[in-house]
Amino acid sequence: MITVLGGANCEGVMGRTTHRSFPWVDYVVAGEADGLVAGLFRRILAEGRDVPPDGLPAGVYVPAHRDGSPKRGSEAPRPVLRDLDALPVPDFDDYFQVLGRSRYAGAVRPGLPLETSRGCWWGAVRHCTFCGLNGSTMTFRSKSPARVHQEIRELEERYGISRFETVDNILDMGYFQSLLPALAADGGERRRIFYEVKANLRRSQVEALRRAGIRWLQPGIESLHSAVLELMDKGVQAWQNVQLLKACRELGVRLSWNYLWGFPGEEDAWYAEMAPWLPALEHLQPPSGVTRVRFDRFSPYHQRPETFGLALRPAPAASHVYPLPAEDLLDLTYYFAAAGRPDAFTGEGGEMMAGRPGIQAVQERFEAWRVAFWTGPPVLTEEDDGAALTFEDTRSCAVERRFRLTGLERAVYLAAQDAPLRERLASVLAERQGLAASSEEVAAAATELERRFLAVTVDRRLLALGLPDQCPELPGLRDFPGGLVEEGPHQWA
């Protein structure tokens, strides 16, 4: 038997170290194998374990490489595919043939994976400090809009499925002018598509996504405090994240998002600042979880640990998996722990939130938010008749269940729909509504809105939080585009 390994855990130096450390692994491909795997397999079938290294692409390791392999530490080359349109349309026939013969076929609601790009266009500009997803090649490449549209239609026709989970790290923003309108015009209502996106989307862009059938997003929100987001190099501010939560709930777009904490350089006071106003968001979609940041290979934390005051070592679990010296694990593992910090997986090294009352308060608020939203969503709805705004409020922070706003308070609330800077509110009212009011009067009206938790101030901007009386229903778990296994009395083998 000839053994060939590849994939994410063979990326770069990890692939070379795997090949050097385990002699029973004959071949390793460290990188994108699409353009070389067929030719490599032909040679292996013809020559067995004795394929000579001469003429092989960079990143392909054969048995003969072991003699001259660099010992440790240096980076390793990798193959990269530049033209994604050159890839074949995926063939899932074998999967569906096996599924069709399975006694559990009725329990599986399949979705199809779809790749439209590789790399990250934001990471190529400013690499998020914690992200190691793109290995050693951040360069963004995407399929042409016509190719993606064709691929979706071919897969739909072949398998009778219109649910797609894209495996991209980030949506190509050029698709807003090309692919998304084409999908919207070609049966957007019937499709269910999942995408990962940058979080600074405008409401109009969320509308365009929904029309195209993209009704489940994973936005890179990560935090609701701009100082933390700046530490991450996210290129987005907290007020934009809140606006996205509001737009997606209003338009019926389901979100999966994470809240991260524990970044080098963060202050617990930032979380203490945030905790008091989190209950105001109870009617919006909560994070999936609150997780301590992890230190991954290829991230800036791993590439420049000294910049962040980190001393990294392989995650403790690695030594239980690989029977290798610690210095080899440094080149083999993807996950790292930092000296003096609890391990992100196990908490080893200290209590996760010890001495952190701010983050403890935030976690408690998030847990209450998740319970409230998913057990029967609270509402904060608004209806404007031109003279008065009528609200219904069932959040835990509600001051009154039903009430009206008129006059200056109504005007300030309407202006806050666009998240203006608080110091510009009086000017905005004069410019857009022709309303003359002093800065003191406007500030008092804004403070009253905050007292009722109808608006919050984030990054010096006043954000109105109410939603229309009728919002589209969010997709349920059964509608997840990547498919699922139905719950029921199935006897799994």
**Tens of pLDDT along the chain (493 residues)?**
999 999 999 998 999 999 999 999 999 999 899 999 999 999 999 999 989 988 888 889 999 988 765 555 556 677 889 999 999 999 999 999 999 999 989 999 999 999 999 999 999 999 999 999 988 789 999 999 999 999 999 999 999 999 999 999 999 999 999 999 999 999 888 999 999 999 999 999 999 999 999 999 999 999 999 999 999 999 999 999 999 999 999 999 999 999 999 999 999 999 999 999 999 999 999 999 999 999 999 999 999 999 999 999 999 999 999 999 989 999 999 999 999 887 777 666 567 788 899 999 999 999 999 999 999 899 999 999 999 999 999 999 999 999 999 999 999 999 999 999 999 999 999 998 888 899 999 999 999 999 999 999 999 999 999 999 999 999 999 999 999 998 765 544 3
Q: State the Cα–Cα distance between residues 13 and 361, nearest whole angstrom.
A: 41
Considering the segment(s) 380-468 as one domain, its CATH architecture is Orthogonal Bundle (1.10)
Which residue in the block uniquely carries the two structure tokens 């998030």? Answer: 366
- How long is the chain? 493
Write down the CATH number for the domain with range 110-374.
Answer: 3.80.30.20
Question: Of 56, 57, 74, 55, which Cα lies nearest the Cα of 16?
Answer: 74
At residue 261, φ and ψ (nearest 5 deg) are -145, 175
User: What is the DSSP annotation of 313-352?
Assistant: EE-TTHHHH--S-HHHHHHH-SEEEETTS--TTT-TTS-T
Q: What angle do CA 348, 350, 354 make, to 5 degrees?
A: 140
Q: Where are the alpha helices (DSSP H) in 102-194?
A: 145-159, 179-185
Residues carrying CATH 3.80.30.20, the chain: 110-374
Q: State the Cα–Cα distance between residues 2 and 25, nearest whole angstrom.
A: 8
Q: State the Cα–Cα distance between residues 423 and 414, nearest whole angstrom.
A: 16
Q: State the Cα–Cα distance between residues 378 and 380, nearest whole angstrom.
A: 7
- Would you give the DSSP letter of residue 474? P
CB 483 within 8 A of CB 262: no
Q: Which residues of 143-155 are buried (b: 16+ CB within 10 A; e: fewer)?
A: bebebbbebbeeb
**Whole-model pTM?**
0.94
